[in-house]
């Protein structure tokens, strides 16, 4: 951890510095939410890449909604963990902060983080397949599968499926923050899903200090300035203590 302090000294980080965090499924692992590519990534012998697609929904909306209903029920029963709460402390301490998350579980908001960009949507929002209107839907379990809009059309989860573009506003907000930040923490992502996985590359190329928190190495590990090996729930609270102490001039 002392190397983090050395890097912060070289960087000259202050409370006014732009700080960005990018999270993936690993930040929710200690809340009991299965990650995508861990061994528990299977559901009824399907892989996420097979069900989280427009083609799968077109072909069999009921099965796709069964999977989302299962995940909604599971996620609704989980609580934010110390990693989520540590990120909220950063949001509260650094005026120029942004959390960019790939997660759709809503746990960052439930931990009190306010400045969030949800790159891949949110599993508790639904979207009308006819006119694209988005609304919150907290029914756990869903009252009907597949759920229908009052206009009579099918509802879909308001998430980004494989092969779909990311919502423009969130995409631009994330990449602008990556280009402007002085420090980026990359927490709990396997860095295989694009374009999210290129966000830390943009930050690094723009001159940010990039720190990765993950029990395993990832395709980003050789690029980042520091790889803190371990669980987010254990490491992040300590990293935030160091960041707050260091900038508490």
Interface residues toward ligand BV8, by CB under 6 A: 24-26, 29-30, 35-38, 49, 52, 102-104, 120, 159-165, 188-190, 192-194, 213-216, 218, 231-232
Q: Where are the alpha helices (DSSP H) in 14-124?
A: 48-51, 54-59, 61-76, 82-93, 107-110
Nearer to ligand BV8, 103 or 137 (CB): 103
Residue 159 vs 180, nearer CB to ligand BV8: 159
Pairing of strands 121-128, 134-136: antiparallel
Take residue 173 and report the two structure tokens written for it: 């907000």
What is the closest distance, in whole angstroms, from the C-beta atom of residue 191 to ligand BV8 in the complex? 6
**Hey, which bits of the chain come out as E strands?**
19-23, 97-101, 116-118, 121-128, 134-136, 155-159, 183-187, 209-213, 226-228
The CB-of-226 to ligand BV8 minimum distance in angstroms stands at: 15
Say if residues 22 and 185 touch (Cβ distance below 8 Å).
yes
State how beta strands 116-118 and 155-159 pair: unpaired
Rounded distance, CA 229 to CA 5, Å? 16
CB of 26 to ligand BV8, least distance (A): 2
Smallest distance, ligand BV8 to C-beta of residue 168, A: 10
Q: CB-hemisphere CA count at 13 Å for 54? A: 6
Q: Which is nearer to ligand BV8, 17 or 57 (CB)?
A: 57
By C-beta, is 17 or 214 nearer to ligand BV8?
214
Which residue number is nearest to ligand BV8 in terms of Cβ?
26
d(C-alpha 125, C-alpha 138), whole Å: 8
**Active-site residue flag, 227:** no
Catalytic residue, candidates 84, 108, 120, 227: 120
Catalytic center residues: 120
């Amino acid at each position: 951890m002392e190397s983090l302090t050395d890097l912060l000294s070289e960087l000259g980080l202050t409370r006014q510095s732009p700080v960005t965090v990018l999270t993936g499924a690993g930040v929710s692992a200690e809340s009991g939410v299965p990650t995508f590519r861990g061994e528990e990534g299977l559901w009824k012998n399907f892989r996420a890449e097979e069900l989280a697609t427009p083609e799968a929904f077109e072909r069999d909306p009921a099965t796709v909604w069964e999977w989302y209903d299962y995940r909604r029920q599971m996620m609704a029963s989980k609580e934010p963990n110390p990693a989520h709460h540590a990120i909220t402390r950063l949001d509260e301490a650094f005026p120029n902060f942004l959390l960019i998350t790939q997660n759709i579980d809503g746990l960052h908001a439930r931990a009190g983080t306010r400045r969030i960009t949800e790159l891949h949507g949110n599993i508790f929002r639904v979207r009308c397949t006819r006119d694209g209107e988005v609304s919150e839907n907290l029914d756990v379990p869903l009252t009907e599968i597949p759920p229908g809009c009052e206009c009579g059309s099918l509802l879909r989860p308001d998430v980004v499926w494989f092969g779909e573009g990311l919502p423009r506003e969130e995409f631009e907000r994330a990449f602008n923050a990556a280009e402007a930040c002085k420090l980026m923490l990359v927490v709990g992502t396997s860095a295989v899903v694009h374009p999210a996985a290129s966000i830390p590359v943009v930050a690094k190329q723009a001159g940010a200090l990039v720190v990765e928190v993950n029990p395993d190495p990832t395709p980003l590990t050789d690029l980042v300035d520091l790889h803190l090996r371990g669980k987010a729930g254990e490491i992040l609270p300590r990293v935030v203590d160091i960041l707050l102490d260091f900038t508490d001039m």
